[in-house]
Structures are given as C-alpha cells and as structure tokens.
Amino acid sequence: MITKNKPWVGMDRQSQRRADAETPHNLFWIIDPQGNFGLRIQTKDNIKFVEEKISLKGIQLIIDNTVANKTDFFLILQNKEDWEIFYTLCDDLIKVVRDNPNGKEMISAIELRLKRWQHLLKQNKHLSLSIEQQMGLFSELMCLKNIVIPKLGVEQSILAWNGPDFDKQDFLLDDAVLEVKSYRTSKGDTVSISSLKQLYSEKESIYLVAYALTASENGTSIEEIAADIRQLIIINGTNYDLDLFESRLIAYGYAPETLNEELKSFIVDHQRVFKVTEEFPRITPQDVKAQITSVKYFVDLSKCSEFEICLEKFLK
C-alpha cells in the first residue's frame, strides 16, 4: 500500500477542509472535538440509507438527517495509527461520490462500497499474496470471465465460484465441477493437486482447466480482470452479485487497498481443458486407506492429451 500524506495535517479540532470540489456534494476532511480524523459527506438531498446498519471495525459512522434537504454522513477514525487504511477508504468513497452525482444513486453506491470495506476490515490490516496465490486467483478469474460467465451468465457463475473455499472445487455447477490450476510455463506442464477431493466428485462431469503463465510487465493484472468482471456484473447482474463477488475476492485474500506490495501481471501462454474421466491420472478417496487424510501429488499434463477437449465442447 502506498503511503499518503495526511490530509488532516495542520487542522485544529472541530475544523474541516474541503476534500474534493468536483462534485455537487460537499466533501470535507474533518477533525472532531476529540481530535479524531474523519471524513464528512454532505449530500444536496435528504436521503436515508436503505441497508441495515453497517459496522466498520475501528470507524464510527454517523448519519445526520436533521437539516432539511441535506444529509450529513460522517466517518470518524477511532485510532490515529490506522490513518493510512482509513485514508484509502475515504479516498475510495470520494471517487464513488464523484462518479455518482445523483444523491440516491450515490448513497446506494456508498452502501455497496462500505459493505466491501466491512468485509475488508475484518481481515488483517495488511494482507499479502504469494506468487502462487496470485497465479491461482488470476487463473480462476480468467476462467470466470472468459469461460464460465459466457456459458452460464453472471448470476449462476458468481454463485458457482468457490475459489475462496479451498476445500472445494473452484466452480461447483449443477451437474459438473471445475478445478482450475495454474503453473509457470518455464517449469513445464505440471500441475499440483493438493487434496484427494480436487479431482473427485459425485457429479456427472469433472473438468480440469489449466493455465500456463509467465509473469511479465506486459501482462494482465488481477485488478484488470476483476474490473472487467465488475463491469460485466454491473451490466448483466445485480447488486447482490457484485457484493458477493467482492466478498469472495476478500475471502481469497485479495484486497488491493491493504496489500503491502505491487501485484504481478501475467501472460497466458496456454489455456487447456481436460475431461477428468475414470482413466485420468488421479488419486481419489477410494484409492487410499481411511487413515490417510491428506495427499499432494503432481500431474504431467503433457502426457494427458487424450483427455483434452476443445472449449467449444466445454460445458455443453
């Protein structure tokens, strides 16, 4: 996360400083009577939140509708040591206000954003993703965007994505499961299978979707794919779909507002789909004694061409 200058520097208690002049609404950095940092959003309309009360860890929310034709919305930080992530939250909300000049639309957009932050602030303040975790999330988002959503639609696809639940296959469909794997192109076509159940299911069909990746500055980032999916949801889905997508990103460990380092970008060198049949090389729960509870093994995909299928036949 990039350190920002404190906008509250030089301000006295019970004072405010305009935060943005590009919206019809009033936005102010404030310091309350106790000396706490805060943000004030004042709309030109008298509007009430429609969602249940949102609770943000370490941040007090105050809504004042007492003045006619105005709504004052205050966020007050309880611990000054957390000012950087609080500033990032405030900056995020300022962008939301700037993009939604209509009062009611703005409040609705703020609600969605605050629910994302509600999930986010329950996590550790500063998260990190290993290169392997980044590759895993990148591949699942690529599969979601380019394969699953075009075939099943936004709502069903978001509901089907189980990526953050590492004990389940990545996509659980009505009559099929999808397991998504990634590997470095430079290290050969070998994928790691980390449990007995990843390539096992009682459903009719099991598919393995594999991505060969190369880290490159000229590649695509996780945030770029996530932004594309958000746009698809906005156009074709619902607020619930968007909220579910955001919460699952956070559950995965992806929260760009709190990451300590820049994420990698990747080039997809190969994308392959395999039908996991009885003959596919795998280890299932029936293959091992009950006393064995954990198994990790590797599959060489270069020797699995007989199980490969084309995308046109996938999920039909």
- pLDDT over 80 (residue 121): no
Nearest to 114 by CA among 126, 87, 96: 96
CA 115 to CA 166: how far, in whole Å? 23
Q: Look at residue 306 in the predicted model and tell me its pLDDT.
A: 96
Each domain of the chain, given as residue ranges in start order, spans 15-121, 132-313
In one-letter notation, the amino acid at residue 247 is S
pTM score: 0.70
Distance, CA of 168 to chain centre: 18
Over residues 223-229, mean pLDDT: 94
Q: Distances in Å between the alpha carbon of 37 and those of 20, 60, 117, 243? A: 17, 11, 18, 28
Query: pLDDT tens-digit profile of 273-305?
Result: 999 999 999 998 889 998 998 899 999 999 999
Over residues 192-216, mean pLDDT: 92
Tokens 């310091």 -> residue: 31
Q: Look at residue 91 in the predicted model and tell me its pLDDT.
A: 84
- pLDDT over 90 (residue 57): no
Q: Look at residue 1 in the predicted model and tell me its pLDDT.
A: 38
- pLDDT over 90 (residue 70): no
Q: Look at residue 123 in the predicted model and tell me its pLDDT.
A: 61
pLDDT above 70 covers a percentage of the chain that reads 89
CA 24 to CA 305: how far, in whole Å? 60
- pLDDT over 60 (residue 126): no
CA 132 to CA 182: how far, in whole Å? 8
Q: In what order do the strands lie in the sheet with 265-275?
A: 171-172, 176-184, 205-221, 265-275, 308-309
